[in-house]
Amino acid sequence: MSVTDGTPEAEVDLADRVGGEVADAVRGNWVDHAAPGWSRPYLRLSRADRPIGTWLLLLPCWWGVLLAAAADPAGLRLFDGWIVIGCAIGAFLMRGAGCTWNDITDRNFDAAVARTKSRPIPSGQVTVRQAFLWLMVQCLIALVILLSFNLNAIILGIVALVPVAIYPFAKRFTWWPQVFLGLAFNWGALLAWTAHDGSLGWPAVLLYLSGIAWTLFYDTIYAHQDTEDDALIGVKSTARLFGAATVPWLRGFMVASVVLMTAAAIVALAPGGNMLAMVLAVGGAWAMGWHMAWQLGQLKIDDADVCLRLFRSNRNTGLLVALFFAAAALL
């Protein structure tokens, strides 16, 4: 495509050549406008120009620690403040590490897709070796944070690397790569619960399963941006699998997510007899369901802009849960 023919594709190509901006980054983001020039390719590898992924990785962590605190007769502890902060830093680092690994493994696919060919590796901003070194730096810093938690949480944090490592390859062998993303992105619910409680509990497992259903919901919407390109290069996704039947499937994921989160709240809080805290926690699950239902009402699977906007709105979906769980914990 010529960079002088005036089309939107040409504008993206020109941006890539001049400033290195990634095509689907948030416009006006701090990486492209405020970060030092030398750091921009590495921050783009980490998707720091698209913060929604960090939110989606972080929010299940906050759900886990807040629900554990709500179920604890002692309530919130001082160390929970560090769990909240440590998970936020860790989510930024591990989301960045995961995206860097994804870009290393998917560099040939990314070069063939209009939305992703401007990423740092296929566009030549960094080499594979540089990207791998950046991956190691992020993992090592995240490990320092993880080691501040109890032993069981540390073990869970290390095990979490397995689904993270597998996910980039899932689209090659299954129509359900979003399941592998869900396994990786919601692990924080297990880890943060354990960081507070000292051991893994059934409410955390139910919360984890609820998060996986939520991931299937939002990432199927996200994947509808690339269905044509994915079909050409042979990449599988639930968006391609469901096609025109996407909305009924998403409705099923929505119901599963709400039911599982409701069960998590009841199993966690009913034994303690604090009915108001349980009502608040269940209210978080249903607030999440309301927001997902709103997304379904707005969804146009053939409109990439709508899909991206709704995908990004899931930050608010998860924050609603965190707010209700925080209120329950404060009781």
Q: What is the pLDDT of residues 251-290, one digit of tens each?
A: 999 999 999 999 999 999 999 888 999 999 999 999 999 9
Tracing tokens 């992924």 back to the chain, one arrives at 53
Instruction: Please report the pLDDT score of residue 24 as a whole number.
Output: 66
Specify the pLDDT at position 19.
60
What contacts 24+ positions apart, CB below 8 Å, involve 13-19? 15/118, 16/117, 16/118, 16/123
Q: Which DSSP letter does residue 3 get?
A: T
On whether the pTM is more than 0.95, the answer is no
DSSP letter for 244, please.
Answer: G
Summarised one tens digit per residue, pLDDT across range 167-191 is 888 988 999 999 999 999 999 999 9
Q: Which residue segments constitute the domains of the chain, with CATH numbers given?
A: 8-330 (1.10.357.140)
Cα separation, 119 vs 100, whole angstroms: 10
